[in-house]
Amino acid sequence: MSQGQLGDEDGMRDEPARDTSPSTNEIFDALTAAQRRYVLHYLAGSEVVTLGELAEWVAKRCESDPERTAIMLHHGHLPMLTEVGLVDYDPATRTVEARPELSAAAPFLTLDADR
């Protein structure tokens, strides 16, 4: 299947890469969920990480089960952050990395520095 069509075995859409930076509204929408803020804090200081590693870290901060957190990240939070253009998530390899556009969210993340 080509990019932009309904997608892979995970039921996720294959979308073409964004060619613009996220808008302020998109960044604010992305930051509304604590789990997404935790993801962005973690990725700001990391290279490529696995979904499992990220889920463990986020789960500790949310006082949640790592397996449940991984499911929520995989199906909801990471696709949303990918769509906005802040991260790249590969569901096939279950790896996540920050995009250069994450720097656009940095000023807002500093307001949430206790994470």
The answer, yes or no, to whether residue 20 has pLDDT greater than 80, is: no
Q: List, in order, residues 6 or more apart from 20 with CB less than 8 Å away.
A: 85
If we measure between CA atoms, which residue out of 82, 85, 66, 81 comes closest to residue 22?
A: 85
CB 13 within 8 A of CB 7: yes
pLDDT value, residue 5: 37
Strands (E), 9-86: 49-50
Q: What pTM was estimated for this model as a whole?
A: 0.77
- Domains of the chain, earliest start first: 34-106 (1.10.10.10)
Q: What percent of the chain has pLDDT over 70?
A: 80
